[in-house]
Amino acid sequence: MDTAANSEEESIESEFARTVRYIDLYMQQKTDLFLQHYVFEPVDFLLRQVMCLSVIVTLLAAGTLALVIGVILFIATFVPLWAALLITGAIIFGTGVIIANMLLSNKMVLKTPLAPEMMKNG
């Protein structure tokens, strides 16, 4: 009788140990999938986007600087250099004001469902 009870306890213990190992393996797999899908992939995507954005911004800044210098030198052929700088600065400032006004004047409108739509959808 004693040996039968011991074998049942050992089998229950071994079954419990196996269940704990399966649970541990399951948790490791779920943690790995969570980290992969919700941490590493978004961070990788953001890093790529930031690198592309930094290259684009650098190229745009260099192009804009070259264009502004060219415009200043072109205007300087007709008027003195200080006047060309003032004219170009005023044009750039005015363009910035117009763009900022266009971007900031738009009111944000959120699409919220109406009461009949809410009742219809439950």
Look at 94 and 9; give whichever has higher pLDDT.
Answer: 94
What percentage of the chain's residues is helix, strand, coil (to nearest 5)? 90, 0, 10
pLDDT (mean) for 94-109:
83
Domain around 13: 2-121
pTM across the whole model? 0.50
CA dist 90 and 88 (Å) reads 5
Using alpha carbons, select from 62, 81, 65 the residue that is nearest to residue 73: 81
Tally the domains of the chain: 1
Given a cut of 90, is residue 23 above it in pLDDT?
Answer: yes
